[in-house]
């Protein structure tokens, strides 16, 4: 009796095995072919940027940037801010949860490749009417009693044409795109933190210059006022000295306003309230006017952009998902086959439910569904899927061109800012010399104080321009690193699910 009882289970297992074997015979749609890179052998401005960076800048022998690319600046405060931002920024946590959602959806989709088995158990009490046709046939008798049942049922779609496999392929690509999008958020955030930090440091350098200029203007004002009181100067010189002192103080307040705005933005980037200071107190109270030289960033070849930027990798994954969706749409033209069955036991008495005579089962139906007339719905859906794929191809090409432009822009900035800085050094030296000459001529009474104020303004403008150019060089180095992908490498989404959940 045991052999008879387990025959349905054996038949079901054999049927599922045959169905799985048959379903592996073909796949609708075309397999995805990765998009080609660019044919450009080298960046246009790479040689100029590499040549100018050798003028005193830090060198890097690495073939590519490290994952924590900001460490090439060798700035402890910047590294601390980057770590805080990547850990506490709300946008990072939101992107991580989007990755978790995509991973969960992938698990749901993958489950459709396997049979669905459900177990059930039940108990019921029923009584039939003695006045129905059935009751009259039984001599005005009713049937009453308990019913116990236990069993399992299964259902399985035979993936004869690979439609389900294409659905899983699309979901897998979407999960990979979500991971790349999360990494893109990290890269953009780290770039914003570094840019804001160096801009803030640049304003600190300007404030140091303005503080020195303000101290000099105050000394000059006191000296001119003393000369005026002694009858050695005129009221016009006093007014000019007061104007220059007030202008320097007003410029200092404007730079302080800009610095406050940047510090508030930096606080938001690291995920804290703008009311809290984000830089060390010593640095905020005593700004260091000296800005470091920008580091040398390894550039590589244009074709490597596809593997170094998360936004381009996400675009490729999206292309793969749309390509798989075309296969899913093609699968709608083919018949679908579904196999169902159940096996269990039922008895009026709970003590007899395990008896062989209490077993019940059904195998089938093996249902076949073939589209005959759908008013063009499937054809329109196929056209829609192909149009979406073509749109994704065009968008990917646009993103690739944009990425190349961003690299070229950043490399051009590095080269031109270096040349601009070299020329500005000459302007600083000439302005400093002009101020010394003007002051000496005024002290000997050869010229008026107007020459001194003009020279002071020129020297201050030259010093501030030099600090701004040094800041822009550092920001340009950040732009190069971000445009090249910042040392990013794509990982398997299954390996990053735990990290994303944190």
**Sequence-ordered strand ranges (E) for 96-252:** 116-127, 144-158
Helix (H) or strand (E) holding 359: strand 359-369
500: Cβ contacts below 8 Å, ≥ 6 apart: 96, 97, 99, 100, 103, 179, 182
Preceding omega of 365 cis (within 30 degrees of 0): yes
> What CA–CA distance (Å, rounded) separates 180 from 314?
5
Q: Do residues 424 and 459 touch, judged by C-beta distance below 8 A?
A: no
pTM of the model: 0.80
Give the pLDDT of the chain (502 residues) as one tens digit per residue: 444 444 444 444 444 444 444 444 567 878 888 777 666 667 776 655 555 444 434 434 445 788 899 999 999 999 999 999 999 889 888 888 888 888 888 888 888 777 888 888 888 877 777 777 776 777 777 777 778 778 788 787 777 787 888 888 888 888 888 898 898 999 999 999 999 999 999 999 999 999 999 998 888 888 888 878 887 778 888 888 888 889 999 999 999 999 999 999 999 999 988 888 887 654 544 445 578 888 888 787 777 777 788 999 899 999 999 998 898 888 888 887 787 878 777 777 777 777 777 777 777 677 777 777 778 888 998 899 899 999 999 999 999 999 989 988 999 999 899 999 999 999 999 999 998 998 888 888 788 888 888 888 999 999 999 999 999 999 999 999 999 888 888 776 654 444 444 4
CB atoms within 10 A of CB 81: 23
Of 458, 450, 455, 456, nearest to 234 by C-alpha is 450
Superfamily per CATH, domain 32-113+165-202+267-335+380-501: Outer membrane efflux proteins (OEP) (1.20.1600.10)
What is the pLDDT, as a whole number, of residue 62? 43
What is the pLDDT, as a whole number, of residue 63? 52
Structure tokens at 144: 């009453």
What is the pLDDT, as a whole number, of residue 256? 92
> What CA–CA distance (Å, rounded) separates 253 from 257?
6
H, E, C per residue of 205-265: HHHHHHHHHHHHHHHHHHHHHHHHHCCCCCHHHHHHHHHHHHHHHHHHHHHHHHHHHHHHH
Strand-pairing partners, residue 471, are: none
DSSP string, 378-395: HHHHHHHHHHHHHHHHHH
Can you tell me which residue has the tokens 């800012």? 417
42: Cβ contacts below 8 Å, ≥ 6 apart: 301, 302
Q: What's the CATH number of domain 1-30+117-158+336-369, 3.40.50.150, 2.20.200.10, 1.10.10.10, 3.30.70.380? A: 2.20.200.10
Residue ranges per structural domain of the chain: 1-30+117-158+336-369, 32-113+165-202+267-335+380-501
What is the pLDDT, as a whole number, of residue 46? 66
């Amino acid at each position: 009796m045991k052999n008879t009882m387990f025959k349905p289970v054996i038949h079901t297992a054999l049927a599922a095995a045959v169905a799985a074997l048959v379903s592996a015979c073909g796949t609708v749609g075309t397999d995805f072919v990765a998009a080609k890179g660019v044919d450009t052998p080298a960046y246009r401005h790479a040689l100029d940027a590499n040549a100018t960076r050798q003028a005193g800048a830090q060198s890097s022998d690495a073939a590519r940037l490290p994952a924590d690319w900001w460490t090439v600046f060798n700035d402890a405060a910047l590294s601390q801010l980057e770590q805080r931002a990547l850990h506490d920024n709300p946008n990072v946590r939101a992107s991580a949860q989007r990755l978790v959602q995509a991973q969960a959806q992938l698990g749901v989709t993958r489950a459709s490749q396997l049979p669905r088995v459900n177990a059930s158990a039940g108990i019921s009490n029923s009584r039939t009417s003695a006045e129905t046709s059935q009751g009259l046939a039984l001599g005005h008798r009713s049937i009453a009693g308990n019913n116990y049942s236990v069993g399992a049922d299964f259902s399985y779609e035979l993936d004869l044409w690979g439609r389900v496999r294409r659905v899983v392929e699309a979901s897998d690509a979407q999960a990979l795109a979500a991971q790349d999008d999360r990494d893109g958020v990290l890269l953009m955030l780290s770039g914003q933190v570094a840019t804001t930090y160096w801009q803030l440091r640049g304003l600190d350098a300007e404030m140091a210059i303005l503080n020195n200029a303000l101290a000099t203007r105050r000394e000059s004002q006191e000296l001119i006022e003393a000369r005026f009181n002694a009858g050695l100067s005129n009221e016009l010189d006093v007014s000019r000295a007061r104007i220059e002192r007030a202008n320097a103080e007003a410029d200092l307040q404007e730079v302080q306003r800009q610095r406050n705005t940047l510090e508030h933005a930096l606080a938001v980037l690291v995920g804290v309230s703008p009311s809290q200071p984000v830089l060390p107190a010593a640095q905020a109270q005593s700004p260091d006017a000296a800005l470091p030289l920008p580091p040398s960033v390894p550039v590589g070849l244009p074709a490597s952009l596809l593997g170094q930027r998360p936004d381009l990798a996400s675009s490729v994954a999206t292309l793969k998902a749309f390509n798989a969706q075309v296969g899913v749409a093609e699968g709608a033209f083919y018949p679908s086959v579904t196999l169902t069955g159940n096996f269990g036991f039922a008895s009026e008495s709970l003590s007899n439910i395990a008896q062989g005579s209490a077993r019940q089962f059904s195998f089938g139906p093996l249902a076949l569904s073939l589209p005959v007339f759908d008013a063009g719905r499937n054809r329109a859906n196929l056209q829609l899927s192909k149009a979406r794929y073509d749109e994704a191809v065009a968008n990917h090409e646009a993103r690739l061109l944009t990425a190349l432009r961003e690299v070229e822009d950043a490399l051009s900035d590095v080269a031109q800012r270096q040349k601009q800085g070299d020329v500005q050094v000459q302007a600083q030296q000439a302005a400093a010399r002009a101020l010394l000459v003007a002051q000496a001529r005024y002290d000997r009474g050869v010229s008026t104080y107007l020459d001194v104020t003009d020279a002071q303004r020129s020297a201050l403008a030259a010093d501030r321009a030099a600090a701004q150019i040094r800041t822009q060089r550092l920001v340009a180095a950040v732009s190069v690193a971000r445009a090249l992908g910042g040392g990013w490498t794509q990982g398997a989404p299954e390996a990053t699910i735990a990290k994303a959940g944190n």
